[in-house]
Chains A and B, each alone.
Chain A
Amino acid sequence: MIIDGHVHMGKGDFGTLDELKQDMQKAGIDKAVLVPGGMIDVRRMTRYITGVEKPKGDDIPNDVIEHIIHSEPDKFYGFYCVNPHKRREAVIDLENGIQKGFKGLKLAPIVHGFSLASKTVMELADLCGQYNVPFYSHVLFSPGASTKKMAALAKEFPNTNFIIGHMGFGPADVDAMEYAAMYDNLYLETSQGSFAGIKTALETCGSSKLIFGSEFPLYKPISSLMTIRELNCKESDFDNILYKNIQYLLNVK
């Protein structure tokens, strides 16, 4: 069994569901966790990081994900994305999303530009704990959405499980690895992670804290999976990384 823990799905023609299914089949991936995509054209990522272009943050395609997870509930799981600047509306939105079958929260600091220490983010983290669904977020170089801030949330909300996307910030975020080792409820998702970074994380926080993800369509799932395969770890470690950890967090079999 292999579950891809991080796949983007949006409304455009870049990274369609058909393409995803083909890529999953090619890589031998059985299931995937879908998060809303397309708010940023990842093919032009640098323009967003430098602020030259602005994300389409108001148009979050949760409806696309909802349709897919209801159509193929045994193959796809969904994370619901909200804009914390919507405050109470964001919290209510997430609760509705969970009740509609979404299995987790996805935050996008680079799209919506909020602080992980804001009141609404705290409320979202608390809600995730109440519903036992994971809280997934990228971390950035921006101090308000840093690895340290994500770790502070994990400490503040011990009943909520947190996933740091893309192994943290940069090619080898040692802080993210050490925080994952320090806090039981903090996990790292491997997409965009370097081989050396994932290898170091395996040694620092163990396989029980790593979740395989591909970041489709920016990356091909087969190449992301190959990086994990190259770790040459024990079968039980592969199982943890490739499906067991995410199964545990999603409460699925």
Chain B
Amino acid sequence: MTISHLLSARAARNVHVVRATRSAKLSAVVLAAAAAVLAALPFLVFSTVTDTLINLFVLIALASMWNLLAGFGGLVSVGQQAYIGIGAYSLVALADLGVQPYLAVPLAALTCAVFALPTSWLAFRLRGDYFAVGTWVIAEVYRLLVVRVDSLGGASGKSLSGLSGIDATLRGALTYWIALALALATIAGCYLLLRGRLGLSLMAVRDEETAAASAGIDVRRAKLLVYLVSAAGCGAAGGVITLSSLSVNPDSIFSVQWSAYMIFIVVIGGIGFIEGPLIGALIFFALQQLLADFGSWYLVLLGVVGIVAALRLPRGLWGLVPGPSLFPIGYLVRRSDGPA
């Protein structure tokens, strides 16, 4: 197009666009080193430590998926436990069919994406608060359906088969590595997704849906994609939870508590930042460990922290951190006209 050429030629001369700053590259190296140390832990520490860390990795993965959905896609769901549950049950069912449970984790993710597609037709008819409540209802419906299936253990749940042949220490280490890989994959996945053209469209949709459509964005498709990715991520997390607990119980795996955790973590960590779920999960995990002996006071304190964070820190803890992002997804324009 002539106008486009006319305009671009004028601008291209003295402008360049930067994506990643030097400090961001440094932080990537630090993160990679941290991941390497974490990967070596099963050789260095007792399995009680690594077993606890599995919990942290699952929380990071779940919170990242919720942040992607709500913080970048603008889809505030209270029903992602639907996919945690479906993922967990898929793993159990696949193991029953003879699939190696560790290899069944990605298949559980895929199964969730398949379930998420028709579910989205229903959920996307609702907006805002109604979407939130609707997703919760959908999760409950999935729980009620699962409970009706006798081969899945009904209301009492089912234990995971196919791992009895593996030594307990090795099993713990394998589960740990898979949980670590899941946490890293969700963070890297969010980063790569958001850094691309699709990520920019998503953020535009989140900020202004009508204007996004006028910008040429297929709003429905963008939302659907982020919904499917989030479902798959939560499904994989559900699979890892089951690998770790070796059984699945419908009431706990489909519990709305998972959504409460995800929201809490993302809100205190910083919604709309890739770093948010990471920081939030670390804090939540620390609180869990520190306050575990305080019984119901643990929940009270957690509630207080959540309320204070929501009131005082609308952008979460990461919102307080000045300086460049660890995961730069934006564009920085540098102009070199005038005396440099």
Partners in one complex: no
Q: Which residues of B are at the interface with A, using a C-beta cutoff of 8 A?
A: none
